[in-house]
Amino acid sequence: MGNLAWLNGNIYELDDAKIGVQDRGFLFGDGVYDVIKIYNSKPFRLSAHLDRLEKSSLAIKIDIPNSKKEIENITKELIEKSKCSDGFIYMQVTRGCTPRDHFFPTGVTPTLLIYILDIGFPPSKRDVKPTKCITLPDERWMNCHIKSTNLLPNVLAIQKAKEASGGEAILFRPDGVITEGTRSNIFAVIDNEVRTHPESNLILAGITRSIAIDIFRKSNTPCFEKAFNLEDLNKATEIWTTSTGSEITPVYSVDETMIGEAVPGPVCRYLIEEFWKIVETECYS
């Protein structure tokens, strides 16, 4: 049937799903979202993504109108009806549709949107394409742990990266500490240990990030949730990004400076192999 959307209890063709012009998500960015990857018609780590959606929603005081179990069932129904084998599930909840006012409305049911995007081909670890990055000041708000729909700073930063022929912008705070990318978490091998910024209000705790940390710890690879700065980044022997959409992406250049001798490096290659073992076990067996 193609890409389908579930909106407030009804299923539509994606292009036919409509949200009111007074929806607070449209007017104020008053909402949160999450994205789940579909492999072999199975949503990967759906429960973890729904937990994060709930945390983000509670953080801005929106009650999701459907239970976690109901959303799981809706998701599976959409995948089945759309006949999607490989793609994405996008979920967004807003405070609802009501006359424009900055104060929270009362007696309004939140808007819940869930839709499928079929990418039309199975992903593969063999398709990993290294990317180049630039560094930019992190100009986002101080609640990046909330997966908010307010993404304008991210959009502006990734556009600058694109204009510099890059695939991602690595963001840093005024003190030079690296936080994350515009749509990914950042890992680096520095002084023979893997580092990534610790969970805090300055980053979004990515699902793929958590998987990567777990892989390294189970293999006794030195891996630390430990902040590092621009100077540390410049001496990294390997850098990669993690996200639901692009999984693990090795970085070959930052600000036109080449990284390491081979991309992906040995640590990143190991992570990619182990990540795909998990995907294959959970979605293909």
The beta strand positions in the chain, using DSSP E, are: 4-7, 10-13, 31-39, 42-43, 87-94, 111-118, 131-137, 168-172, 178-181, 185-190, 193-196, 223-225, 238-243, 247-254, 257-258
Name, in order, each residue with C-beta under 8 angstroms of 150's C-beta and a sequence gap of 6 or more.
Answer: 29, 141
d(CA 198, CA 47): 22
d(CA 206, CA 80): 27
Confirm if 53 and 147 have CB atoms less than 8 A apart. Answer: yes
User: Which residue of the set 83, 147, 162, 218 is catalytic?
Assistant: 147
For residue 122, count other CB atoms closer than 10 A to its CB.
Answer: 11
106 backbone dihedrals φ, ψ, rounded to 5°: -115, 150
Question: Does 83 qualify as catalytic in the annotation?
Answer: no
Confirm if 33 and 104 have CB atoms less than 8 A apart. Answer: no
Coil, strand or helix at 113: strand
The residues annotated as belonging to the active site are 147
